[in-house]
Chains A and B, each alone.
Chain A
Amino acid sequence: MFTELNSILNSTPDSFTKGEFIFVSDRQSDASFLIHHFLSFYLRARCKVCFLGLVQSFSHYCAISQRLGVSLAQAKEKGQLIFLEGLKESLSILIPQEGHTENQAMDFLRDPTVGLRSLYKFVQSSLNSSSSGEDGTEEWGPSVLLVDDISVLLSLGVSARAVLDFSHYCKATVCSQLQGNMVMLVRCDGEDEGDDGDDEGSELLLRGLTHQCSLTLHVQGLPTGYCRDIHGQVEVCWRRRQGDGQHTQKKLFQYKVHDKGASFFARGTSSAVL
């Protein structure tokens, strides 16, 4: 996990807000480094994590988490981490073969119009399974759902409406019922946000999820162009409900991703500049 980000978000593995829906999005850059942060953060906090890794293989996350000091293989063995390797499971559905048992979770690949119900059932069953401490299994903290990334479902033919329904159901289960946290990543495209109906699905998803969440982290490239030392900017927006109104607080940071982490700094204070 990135210590600077922890101080920005005012959270540590020992104390963080429960029941939070964190929405990570990017536009023309790559925000997946934030997913690695949250993965290692929640594993360190001894939470039970359900990770839907839809775009990369398990060993990719393993390799990076090792550099961040967390062993995914061990967590998986102990039952702390439930990992859905989307790529691997999808092959048995995309190339149908006899005698192969498929994981029901990726059923939407067979017919995207059906929706994401089976995926939701997978999430529900994995997070509900050992909430009561059975013999020998350890007691884990609150449940956490991580999705990387949910916008690939749009590319696979699922409608934006179905994805929004899925996230709503997950939020109800994970955040409200189980008092856990949820982190989802959406990757967008397009230079201007006011583009016409080309990118309707992705923009709809972006707006819908922004409305549902309590904390957004939006990653973008620098408005002045490409720079080697500053990889982009992150806009953090808290959307807490306090008292009568909704209180929104925004902060903007610039970041640089290293081999073993990422550093965040206020605009213009990068070490390359000063």
Chain B
Amino acid sequence: MAAPVDSVGKPSAERSPFNSTSFQKKTRSKLISIPGTRPSVQNGQLLVSTGVTSLDYLLEEDRYDSYSRMILKYFLAEGVVCRHELFVAAAQDNPDDILQELPAPILDDVAIHKPVDQPRLSCEPQDSLDAMKIAWRYQNLPKVQSALASTSRFGHYYDVSKTMEPEIRQAAKCHRFYLPEHPTQSSTTHSPMIESYSALLKSLQEVIHREGFDIAASMPKSRNILRVGLHSLGSALWGDDLSCHDNPRHSHALTTFLYGLRALLRSSLAVAVVTVPSHLIQDRALMGSITRLCDNAIALESFKGSERETNPLYKDYHGLLHVHQVPHLNCLASQLPDHKDLAFKLKRKQFTIERLHLPPDLSETVSRVSRGELAGATMVASACGSGTSGTKHLDF
């Protein structure tokens, strides 16, 4: 939601976007600065690292759920580092286990206040009011309050070989929802949503109300962002038979839940990342409607166990990343990516996503023999146009 301009009541003449300095303008609109966020120039919304508030991310899991879990953990870890609150729900693993596996941030300035050297940005208020010696011209400028002092970095790097230290993790408030702990009572309504999803939605709404994440809430103290991570929705462990049957009985349970989740997120300062095991869902049309109910949809296709693993084309990468939908909240045109071929790889310490490019072909025999194993031979910009199996080469 456009948090800063909301609830003013008077239509502002022009929606001026915020610049990202910490200069506080005295205007009628309430200026909310929340650590770990940055307003987007395009649509005046608060951007959260890997997310926009009130946005709903859909992540289609890869086959063994290894990489989608990784992204979910990154999302939650970023929340811990930025001191947002977390809400984690899972049916299969205890949320505590997920929280313990968060990658460690590569820190240089995570929890420690670092005095900033530039004279224009005076840092924490408790700094002594020493007279400036060199930059004395700036002495008379009003003291700006950098509310983003310690977390002025937008986006952090993580080391996946280490887990986050418990002290850092405990600094962030976490709410858990572990399905086996919630006994489901059979509902008498004919609502298409099943009980486990209803309980989850209700619990999420309670957390939002209680902790004051509603946009309409009148809490004057500093606002925060709630990061919601929902693991493996639509799998059989949630009581949903989407992935088990071709014609499931509860075919609209997940979509109704997502509609309710969207409604909750639109009215609160929250971001959600949902992972769905789409490879188990046979109905492609259902995946289409699930995708349309979310703002941002990404599918991960890992090469593990498929024939692409040994394909020399893809040897640098662990999988492909398909962007199915980009958000366009509060604006007509969405930020379309420049190119849509993206691949990801998990190095020893880092998980990176980059544009798919072919590795340089350094073998000496390239002009002579084209090996048949290059299954994607048509993708290689080869001079020999027709995709023959390659055992014949032109001999003069």
Contacts and interface: CB of A to CB of B under 8 A. Distances in A.
Chain A partners chain B: yes
Interface of A: 30, 33, 36, 55-57, 59-60, 63-64, 66-67, 71, 73-74, 87-88, 90-91, 94-96, 109-113, 151-152, 154-157, 187, 189-190, 195, 198-199, 202, 226, 228, 231, 257-262
Interface of B: 1-2, 6, 11, 15, 42-44, 189-193, 198, 201-202, 205, 251-252, 255-256, 259-260, 262-264, 266-267, 283-285, 288-289, 292-293, 328-334, 336, 338, 340
Contacts of B256: 94, 109, 155-157
A270 B6 CA distance: 38
A87 B44 contact: no
B330 to A, nearest CB: 4
B333 A257 contact: yes
A32 to B, nearest CB: 8
A59 B263 contact: no
A57 B201 CA distance: 19
B69 to A, nearest CB: 27
A36 B2 CA distance: 19
Main secondary structure of the interface of B (DSSP, over half): loop
What 7 A-B pairs are tightest by C-beta distance, nearest first?
A: A189-B288, A199-B285, A87-B263, A111-B190, A157-B252, A157-B192, A155-B255
Contacts of A87: 259, 262-263, 266-267
A91 B260 contact: yes
26 contacts: A30-B328, A59-B2, A59-B6, A60-B330, A64-B332, A67-B15, A87-B259, A87-B262, A90-B263, A94-B193, A94-B198, A95-B201, A110-B189, A110-B190, A112-B192, A152-B292, A155-B252, A155-B292, A156-B252, A156-B256, A190-B285, A198-B283, A198-B284, A228-B338, A257-B332, A257-B333
B260 A60 contact: no
B208 to A, nearest CB: 11
Given A88-B267, A95-B201, 20 more contacts: A30-B328, A36-B332, A63-B15, A66-B11, A87-B262, A87-B263, A94-B193, A94-B256, A94-B259, A96-B189, A112-B190, A152-B289, A154-B289, A156-B256, A157-B251, A189-B285, A199-B285, A226-B340, A228-B338, A262-B332
Nearest to B292: A187
A123 to B, nearest CB: 20
Nearest to A27: B288
A88 B292 CA distance: 18
Contact of B192 (A73, A90, A156): A156
B6 A64 contact: no
A175 to B, nearest CB: 27
B152 to A, nearest CB: 27
A59 B330 contact: yes
A199 B329 CA distance: 27
A63 B43 contact: yes
Contacts of A259: 42, 331-333
B344 to A, nearest CB: 19
B281 to A, nearest CB: 11
Contacts of A190: 284-285, 288
A155 B289 contact: yes
A260 B15 contact: no
Contacts of A66: 11, 15
A184 B2 CA distance: 27
B323 to A, nearest CB: 10
A190 B288 CA distance: 8
Contacts of B289: 151-152, 154-155, 189
B293 A33 contact: no
Contact of B263 (A60, A88, A257): A88
